Amino acid sequence: MLQRWHILSFLLAALSAPSFSLADSSFENTAIVRTVDLGGSLVHVTTTYAVKALEPGQTVYHIALDENERHKTSWIEAKVKGQQGALRMEELAQDEDSKSHLFAVTLPKKLGVNGTINLVLDTVQTHATYPWPQSAAQKDPQSLKYESDLFIVSPYHTAVQRTKIKPSSPTVLSYTTPENVDQFTLESPVTKSGTTITYGPFHNIPSSSNAEFIGEHQQVVVVHYNFDYPVLEIKKLQRSAEISHWGSNLNIEDKIHLYNAGPTLKGHFSRLEHQSQNFYRTLGPHILASLTLYLPAGIRNTYFYDIIGNVSTSHLRTAPSVGKNARGNQFSVLEMRPRYPIMGGWNYTYTLGWDAPLEDSVGWDAANEKYIVGVPVMTVIPGTVVTEAEVKIVLPEAATDIEFISPFPALSSSISTHITYLDTTGRPAVSLEYKDLTDKHNGIIYVAYKVPLSAHLKKPLAVATAFLGVFVFALTARRVDLRLHKR
């Protein structure tokens, strides 16, 4: 009997799942404000939901993203307004009729009738803008288009909502005026104040994450704006990190396929024009001449080469090693100058690597007699999407009992054996693959392993326990992951 009841409740749950996106009267949105900060290859969106419970005992609130928005979203996190910790969030199946995606957010406390809470949803969209016009001459400005759905959809009734779109440069070339929205506003549906374009306020919107509302009212709005920096995309990042206990060294090497996703260069590249623009500091915004990278403190033997060879035009200012406790406050700054300026539509493939003291990244877990090494997923280039990433962490020879934790879900992960010509048995390696990484994916992969006594260190490795706290926390207290990946 019990079993049948279980099956029945399972069936009921399955049947009722899609109806979440239809009218749901357990909450009302008293106000929703969405702020879109337009960038180049990354767009940051913050949506605040002022929520009121209408039925007793509410513990789960549903956030909806429509199909377009879900497709662009590479990172998502919900918090209570003014608080630090992310809320537990789970993506439900896509609704077949409306194509909306629902996320179930677990509230920090149960809400009774008329109970309120303010939720903040942070998302990062990738590949969400495109150059318009599609090509530009060396001296031309750069402009991009961004498309958004007008209404913020929700399974609940919304009393009032607005969307603010903020370009980073003061020049807005055009924006769409929505049509047929008289039902929701008696005033102008769009206003521009300074550089901010505001859609709404729209009032008294019924449950909207359903096919009926979307079919009848949803529409696309387009903002055309100038963007004063190169639109950069790393089409592929291959990071390899090699741990050497013998040399007490962590070598990190990035092979990078960089692409300038701005307007393609109209006509031929003129070096003379480039030099004159450079001299008068009037370089076109779509031209990448140099990049500032923040590498770890304490690095040595930094190298940077492209397919032609060593690139010697860059400038590195190394910060001394600061140990693990000050991690994150001190950087070595690399002023990276590619061999030639990268114009829109051009690729640049290069390798950047360095050595770092292993003790800055390793901890010792005495309880399990394991080393734990932390390797950052990537070196963030601000405002740049990493479309594909592969991270390989090569462990010391004869390492066993390998465990690893990614700071967010990987597309795939594996443990293999990496054989170099000096090794006899090969070295185990942990490999992870990711897609569409943003500046929010700036996390650390932790790998724990044992090394047999015979393979132990030539130089004793100084291992701090304070650092270990961070690792153990990451290994044991990791919450259910909230960040998502595009499939």
Ligand X SMILES: *[C@@H]1O[C@H](CO)[C@@H](O)[C@H](O)[C@H]1NC(C)=O
Angstrom CA distances, 114 to 21, 51, 119, 206, stand at 22, 9, 16, 19
Cα 85 to its chain centre, rounded Å, is 17
Which residues touch 158 (CB under 8 Å, ≥6 apart)? 28, 29, 31, 32, 152, 204, 205, 208
**6-14, 20-28, 76-84, 308-316 -> range binding ligand X (CB under 6 A):** 308-316
CA 275, 279, 282, 286 torsion-angle sign: positive
Verify binding: residue 347, ligand X, rule CB under 6 A: yes
310 near ligand X, judged by CB under 6 A: yes
Q: How far is CA 338 from CA 99, 194, 348, 432, 469, in A?
A: 44, 37, 8, 28, 40
Dist CA 86 CA 437 (whole Å):
19
Does position 346 interact with ligand X (CB under 6 A)? The reply is: yes
Report how far residue 338's alpha carbon sits from residue 352's, in angstroms, rounded to the nearest whole number.
11
Nearest distance, CB of residue 135 and ligand X, angstroms: 12
Q: Which of 17, 121, 105, 1 is nearest to 60 (CA)?
A: 105
Q: Which stretch binds ligand X (CB under 6 A): 159-167, 209-217, 339-347, 351-359?
A: 339-347
What's 20's DSSP letter? G
Closer to ligand X by Cβ: residue 10 or 303: 303
Closest CA to 104 of 21, 14, 223, 10: 21
Helix ranges (H only) for 173-269 are 211-217
Any contact of residue 337 with ligand X (CB under 6 A)? no
Give the residue with the Cβ less far from ligand X, 28 or 147: 28
Which CB atom, from 19 or from 134, has the smaller least distance to ligand X? 134
- Tokens 């390696």 correspond to what residue? 429
- Closest CB to ligand X among residues 158, 208: 158
| Residue ranges in 19-38 that form contacts with ligand X under rule CB under 6 A | none
* Piece in contact with ligand X (CB under 6 A), picked from 166-174, 244-252, 340-348, 467-475: 340-348
Of residues 25, 83, 106, 114, which one binds ligand X by CB under 6 A?
114
Residues 238-297 that bind ligand X (CB under 6 A): 259
Binders in 222-241 for ligand X, by CB under 6 A: 235
Q: How far is the CB of 346 from ligand X (least distance, A)?
A: 5
Rule CB under 6 A: is residue 329 a binding residue for ligand X? Answer: no
Closest contact distance (angstroms) between CB of 230 and ligand X is 15
Nearer to ligand X, 175 or 348 (CB): 348
**Contact residues for ligand X (CB under 6 A)?**
113-114, 235, 259, 310, 312, 314, 345-347
